[in-house]
Amino acid sequence: MTDRTIAVVGYVSDFVERKRPLLFVKIAALLRERLGNHVAFPMFGNIDGVQRKDLVRKVNDAITEHGLTSQCFLMGSRFPIEPWMMGCDVLIAPAVREPYGRTLVEAMLCGTPVVAADDGGNREAIRHGETGLLVPADDALAFADTVVKLHANPRLAKSITSAAKTWALTTHSVTVHVERIQCIYDSLVR
C-alpha cells in the first residue's frame, strides 16, 4: 500500500448475497478498529433493482450499526471501473462460489493487491502469496488480519502487485485474448 494519510480498501462486485457485501461491512468495521479512522471503504457494484433492494437496505443498516457512515460508501456501478480500482490500496473479494474472478484479474492489471475468499474460481486466479492472498471464506477476522498485514508490509504488497500484473498481462491481456481468438478462427478454416 502507499503512504497515504487515508488507506482505501475497496469492494467491487454485484450486490447479491453470494458476493458477500455484508461481510465486507463487517471486515470494514474490524479494519477501522485496527487502522483507525484513516481508512475509506468504497463499495462498487450494481445496487439497483427490486431483487437487490432488501440486501442494499441491510448493507446500509450494517454501515450505520458499525458507525461507518463517514467511511463506507455505496458507490454504485462505475464504468470504466479501472480508475476506481487503481485508487484502492487493496481490493477485498469476499465472494463465494465464483466461477472465475474477472474482477480479480482486472485489479491485478491495475496494480491493486487482492485479498480474496479461498473458494471457487478465486483459487484459479490467485496463487496465494504470489499474485494475491487467499483467506478462508466468510472469515471476517482473517480478511482484516490479512489487510493489516499488507498495510504494515509495503514490500509484500509491491511484490504481490508486481507478480500479479505480470501474470495477468501474460495470461489475460487484450493481445493474448486476440491471439487466442485468432487461433480458434485459424483452426476453423483449416
Q: Which pLDDT tens digit goes with each residue over 134-183?
A: 999 999 999 999 999 999 999 999 999 999 999 999 988 788 878 888 88
The shares of helix, strand and coil residues in the chain, as percent rounded to the nearest 5, are: 55, 15, 30
User: Torsions phi, psi of 93, nearest 5?
Assistant: -125, 85
The model's pTM: 0.90
Q: Which pLDDT tens digit goes with each residue over 74-97?
A: 999 999 999 999 999 999 999 999
CB 42 within 8 A of CB 10: yes
For the chain, domains (ranges, CATH) are 7-189 (3.40.50.2000)
